[in-house]
């Protein structure tokens, strides 16, 4: 277990043991959810990390990863994440 404190701006530092366990690096995105009286931190995978994990139809193969990531960012923005 690690203990950290919050700044007056609401920022917290994720302890190094947690960053290592979740393989979180600088500029990685994390999702924080509340489950009961706990806050749960999860690493958010980038679209480029998922490359090859889903089969894509022939018509979609010409879509660039940059466009896919832009579309995902737009969807996340609408969901408030």
- The single-letter DSSP state of residue 6 is B
pLDDT tens digits, one per residue of 56-81: 666 666 677 787 788 888 877 766 55
Q: How many CB atoms lie within 10 A of CB 81?
A: 11
- Tokens (6 digits) for 76: 């996340």
Q: Name the pTM for this structure.
A: 0.54
Sorting pLDDT into bands at 50, 70 and 90, what band is 6?
A: very high
Instruction: Identify the residue with better confidence: 48 or 40.
Output: 40
- Give pLDDT, residue 76: 76
Give the largest CA-CA distance in the chain: 51
pLDDT tens digits, one per residue of 7-43: 999 999 999 999 999 999 998 889 899 999 999 999 8
- The single-letter DSSP state of residue 72 is H
Sequence-ordered list of residues with C-beta below 8 angstroms from that of 44, at least 6 positions apart, any chain: 28, 29, 30, 31
Give CA–CA dist 12/6, Å, rounded. 5
């Amino acid at each position: 277990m690690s203990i950290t404190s919050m700044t007056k701006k609401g920022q917290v530092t994720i302890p190094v043991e947690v960053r290592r366990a979740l393989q979180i690096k600088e500029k990685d995105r994390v999702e924080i959810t509340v489950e009961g009286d706990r806050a749960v931190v999860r690493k958010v995978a980038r679209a480029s990390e998922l490359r090859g994990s889903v089969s894509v139809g022939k018509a979609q193969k010409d879509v660039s990863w940059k466009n896919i990531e832009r579309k995902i960012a737009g969807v996340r923005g609408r969901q408030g994440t």
